[in-house]
Structure 1
Amino acid sequence: MKFHVQPVKLYTLLISTLTSITGLHAQNLHIYASPNGSATADGSSAAAPVNLDRARAVARAHPSQACIIYLANGVYKSLTLDATDNRSAADPVVYVSNSPHGAVFTPENYVDRSKFQAIPDSIKSRIINATAKTMVKQIPLSALGIADSAQWPAQFGISDLVSPKFYKDGLPLPMSRYPAGTATMPMKQVINSGVYKGVPGGSFKYQDDRAKYWTKAINDGGVWLAGNWQAQFQMDVVRTYSVSTADSLITQSIGIYGGLGAKPYGRLVAGQEPYFALNLVEEIAAEGQAVRQLPHEDALYVAARHRHRDLLRQ
């Protein structure tokens, strides 16, 4: 089993569009590739693509023939070219995305398990899951070669979430969240819809009292809740200003556009707007779940297999 971490940013390979390859001569070698393509085929058919390494090998085997490598949509590992890829300008290799921004390249770093460290008792005491308490370790982001990427803003769209991602055997492992999986919690009642960009923002009463475990995180890392605050088709992440367990009240750190609470066009039931918590140390509950500690941004907490056995085979 292998764990690796995906650095904070995604990078798109500088690739050509279809309109830029018309200057190549007629005897082009066409190679079709996809992120999960074959490692042995020749890539001559779009119906049977090869993986990126195989596409590169096929191109290298034809140094005197211009090659066009068509990239199916998806996320590819980083691509490194060396002297074996050298060829004349008359017979280039052109990488072409099948659609604009469809082929995305993301670099990977394998995690050296020796760099993981024990977490302080102040962090361990906050973890709710008893098993996770014995599994969670920490690693400095600098040890992974990840530069600080700036603290999350007070509000942003869920699609703009920026954080390292862990993988096990090629499969992505989730960031810690509550409820687990794809479940959400419903609000109970909007108390104050808030004023756009006002500080603090809107507030609502909650039904699920899980928030009582997050009070320490308010000022140590922060509490971000992702929710359909107004409409079913729009999910934003908003930092929490405060949690009042006495009043079962959550107050957001900034007012959102249009105000907190379901809108007539939003296809949501008022008082039942769904939301969930993410990136909380308290909610690490499964192997591989990671939390980037904010606002320090100098540590990553990860639930690893007991005693780190098989965390990484190199």
Structure 2
Amino acid sequence: MKAFVVNKYGKDEKLHLTSVLEPSIKDDEVLVEIHSVGLNLLDSKIKSGEFKLILPYKMPLILGHDLAGVVVKKGSMVTRFNVGDEVYARPSDMHIGAFAEYLAVNEKDLALKPKNLTMSEAASVPLVALTAWQALVELGKVEKGQKVFVQAGSGGVGIMAIQLAKYLGATVATTASAGSFALLKKLGADVLIDYKNQDFESVLKDYDLVINSQDARTLEKSLNILKTGGKVISISGPPTPDFGKKIGASWFVRSILSLISFNIRKKAQKRGVCYEFLFMRANGGQLEEIAKLIESGTINIILDRVYLFEQTNEALAYLEKGHAKGKVVVEVK
């Protein structure tokens, strides 16, 4: 089969289109013929080596964390899916590889594709939707009447988080360029802040939760808009020793994580607020719940650009520029 492979870590490394063996499946896996794949900055960060400490992938590596396609083979223990099912997934860490024509996926990571979405639309959903769900529902435990600040509202996670927070009954603030305001207001944002001309720290006050996706300076400023007992959940780091413990990291790795997150954890404690790092995980059950929200019209899908499979490098380069409004997708089939 054809696949895009990265041969070594490096920020400027390119993906190489090559022929590799079609994956075999285990008893609890299905083989998915991939129709479309969603691109994420996580692909770029893994390629550059930014996550080597917590995701020690061996090279060469097939990247790709989001897929939509059709089940063409199933293992003997698979009970939830059949050949011919249209599915979507974010495969588990260490089992990625969606920049390819086929991928073996554990059935616990899979869900049936939302019926009202195309393959390309469905492929744009899993990672960002699971991130929003795990931040707002699992960790944030957002309730009706609370106030949530979602940074970078026009990005993939931002678009999902705004809609999900609104569904949960929160007042939602976000940052974006003025050109994105109409779209984000339509999706449910209540407070719109032009990051080019306004400082969110001077606009927002007494928030319950912040979803941080930006740099260290923005993270520190986010602490100041929270009320006592509020929480910042960061999807851009720094990782914490608690996170290291969750993933079974070694004592050495947990020590490093403790060191690099010490300042922000100390500042949060001094402010009487909480800091948590979220590195989303695969979860087919949560994707089933998300599919219901999509099919009911509660969550809408926004695509920025769709590329051909042969243009995967160009698609990733465009994503890395940070100007996409919505998701970037590659059509494999």
Q: TM-score, normalised by structure 1?
A: 0.24
Would you tell me which structure has more strand in proportion to its own residues?
1
Would you tell me which structure has more helix in proportion to its own residues?
2
Q: TM-score, normalised by structure 2?
A: 0.23
